[in-house]
């Protein structure tokens, strides 16, 4: 606290100082509580493209491959699934809890039209890599006009 006067503190300043000390003590002694609601996490993704494909890399460590669903609809890719909670173990006291568990869903817009029928996905070391071949770009077509004479 910044004090602007040089004389002895008055009763109000002493009270404020004692309250600040008390609140600092309470904060230091208070245990932090943590919690995650189901479906509250979104895995981080990288998206890049090459000349012939769009690649999406998602970090989803601890998710079993059978617990993942990948869908492509138009220019939208959705990755969904569930990371199982190991559950509390008797005798453990958590001091930090940052790894989310439960359902997740991540939807991204793809930067190019893709051929979803030829998509491939691989999962290794906690990373899901989805490779989507780019769809052929339709070429302009010339339409001849016929007369009805």
Ramachandran bin of 125, using left for φ above 0, alpha for ψ from -120 to 50, beta for the remaining angles: left
For the stretch 26-43, pLDDT in tens is: 666 655 444 444 446 899
Give burial (CB, 10 Å; 0-12/13-18/19+) of 71.
exposed
* Nearest-angstrom CA–CA distance, 84 and 100: 10
Domain 45-133 indexed as CATH 2.60.40.790: yes
Which helix H or strand E contains 12, and what residues bound it? helix 11-29
φ, ψ for residue 48 (rounded to 5)? -145, 165
Given a cut of 60, whether residue 145 has pLDDT beyond it is yes
pTM: 0.65
Given a cut of 70, whether residue 15 has pLDDT beyond it is yes
For the stretch 103-120, pLDDT in tens is: 999 999 999 999 999 999
* Nearest-angstrom CA–CA distance, 65 and 83: 10
């Amino acid at each position: 606290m910044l004090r602007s006067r040089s004389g002895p503190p008055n009763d109000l300043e002493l009270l404020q100082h004692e309250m600040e000390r008390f609140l600092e003590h309470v904060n230091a002694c208070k245990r932090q509580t943590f919690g995650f609601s189901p479906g509250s996490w979104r895995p981080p993704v990288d998206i890049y493209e090459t000349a012939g494909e769009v690649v999406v890399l998602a970090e989803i460590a601890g998710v079993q491959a059978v617990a993942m669903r990948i869908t492509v609809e138009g220019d939208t890719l959705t990755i969904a699934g569930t990371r199982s909670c190991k559950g509390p173990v008797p005798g453990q006291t958590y001091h930090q809890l940052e790894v989310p568990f439960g359902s997740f869903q991540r939807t991204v817009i793809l930067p190019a039209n893709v051929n979803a029928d030829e998509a491939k996905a691989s999962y290794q070391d906690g990373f899901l890599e989805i490779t989507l071949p780019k769809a052929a770009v339709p070429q302009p077509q010339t339409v001849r006009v016929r007369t009805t004479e």
